[in-house]
Amino acid sequence: MQPTISESLNQKPLSEARILVVDDDAINQEMYRSMLADKYKVFYCENGQEAVEFCARHRPDLVIMDVEMPEMDGWTASKKIREIPELNEIPILFSTAVDSTNAELNCWESGGSDFMQKPLNRVTLVNRVRTHLTLKMHSDLLKKLAFLDGLTQQYNRRYFEECIPKEFALAMRNKTALSLLMIDIDFFKAYNDRYGHLKGDDCLRLVAKVIGKCMSRPTDIVARYGGEEFVCVLPQTDNKGAADMSYTIREAVLDLNILHEDSEFGQITVSIGMASISGYESGYFELLSKADAQLYQAKDSGRNCISG
């Protein structure tokens, strides 16, 4: 049976959550260890600067933050963490002995997700940590679901539309290369007609998976653009790189050897349209429409072709 999307998303259990404790006091660190280390993986930093660096490098699932620390206080560290977009949603739980409304207000205003007054009570700490971790994992799951295609488990069009304006702007600003591939399965209506939609779905999954495997860099992405069409975003890749990638994809699909008796090739093939940034485009949509026009060209050239 097909795994459900949440099964295949493989959410890690709460016990694998990584918690960063930021506190300069050894006795406090020992207290956190005794309350949390049997339930989660706990890491320690002794000042705000170390905490910012740790978060940027290791992306913990939750941070417990002291306020008064040498070198950099907790408020400053929290603001710095919030300035990094990828770290924006890590729950930061402030825990301080400083007892004033102003101090608490500073915790909230510097991006804190919760506030606890020291001395801490075990029940409060353990339950607040569990609540924040659970909420974080739910929101991570929802975000993944919002950006994944349910059939192929690759990114969906919504994700593509989120990422392409950013990649385009980055490439224009840094004067770096950027290429797009539009990939369309050939004679796919005929495949469904002969073998049925369930087999059609299997075929789409296999093709999607093999395209995903062809992506050579962590920054390359493939998304299902619609129906039996996929789009690849290839940052820092020029037209030569895009052509290499296209040939790799075309061969990989041929190597699947999916029988298609109503195709003139006798098996499933794809056509690919390529477009690379020239520096004169006024927006990503020009790149997209160029790739789309090249896909038509590849179809006109007989299918199982690459154009661009």
Tokens of 211: 């395209």
Pairing state between β 92-96 and 41-45: unpaired
Q: By CB under 6 A, is residue 184 in contact with ligand GH3?
A: yes
Binding mask 193-232 for Mg ion (x = CB under 5 A): -----------------------------------xx---
Catalytic site residue from 104, 228, 229, 264:
228
What's phi and psi for 91, nearest 5 deg?
-65, 130
> Exactly one of 24, 149, 228, 281 binds ligand GH3 (CB under 6 A); which one?
228
Nearer CB in complex with ligand GH3: 104/201? 201
Q: What does the alpha-carbon distance between residue 246 and residue 254 come to, in Å, rounded to a whole number?
A: 12
Stretch that binds ligand GH3, among 7-15, 95-103, 121-129, 189-197 (CB under 6 A): 189-197
Pairing state between β 178-185 and 229-235: antiparallel
Contact in structure between 94 and 132 (CB atoms under 8 Å): no
Contact in structure between 294 and 182 (CB atoms under 8 Å): yes
Contact in structure between 8 and 153 (CB atoms under 8 Å): yes
Q: By CB under 6 A, is residue 293 in contact with ligand GH3?
A: no
Q: By CB under 6 A, is residue 153 in contact with ligand GH3?
A: no
Stretch that binds ligand GH3, among 42-50, 127-135, 155-163, 194-202 (CB under 6 A): 194-202
24 binds, among ligand GH3, Mg ion, none (CB under 5 to 8 A by kind): Mg ion
Q: By CB under 5 A, is residue 50 in contact with Mg ion?
A: no
* Smallest separation (angstroms) from Mg ion to the CB of 9: 27
First-to-last alpha carbon distance for the chain, in angstroms, is 40
At residue 80, what is the residue type?
A: K
Distances (CA, A) of 114 to 62, 110, 221: 11, 11, 36
Tokens of 155: 């990114």
> Exactly one of 66, 149, 281, 292 binds Mg ion (CB under 5 A); which one?
66
Which residue has tokens 């959550």? 17
Q: By CB under 6 A, is residue 253 in contact with ligand GH3?
A: no
> Exactly one of 33, 58, 189, 217 binds ligand GH3 (CB under 6 A); which one?
189
Q: What does the alpha-carbon distance between residue 9 and residue 137 come to, in Å, rounded to a whole number?
A: 12
> Does the active-site annotation cover 228?
yes
Total residue length of the chain: 308
Nearer CB in complex with ligand GH3: 201/286? 201
| 37 three-state secondary structure | coil
Q: Which of residues 29-88 bind ligand GH3 (CB under 6 A)?
A: none
Q: By CB under 5 A, is residue 68 in contact with Mg ion?
A: yes
Contacts of 45 (CB under 8 A, 6+ apart): 20, 21, 22, 51, 54
Q: By CB under 6 A, is residue 227 in contact with ligand GH3?
A: yes
Stretch that binds ligand GH3, among 40-48, 123-131, 200-208, 284-292 (CB under 6 A): 200-208
Q: Which residues bind ligand GH3 (CB under 6 A)?
A: 151, 184-190, 192, 197, 200-201, 204, 227-228, 299, 303
Residues catalogued as catalytic: 228
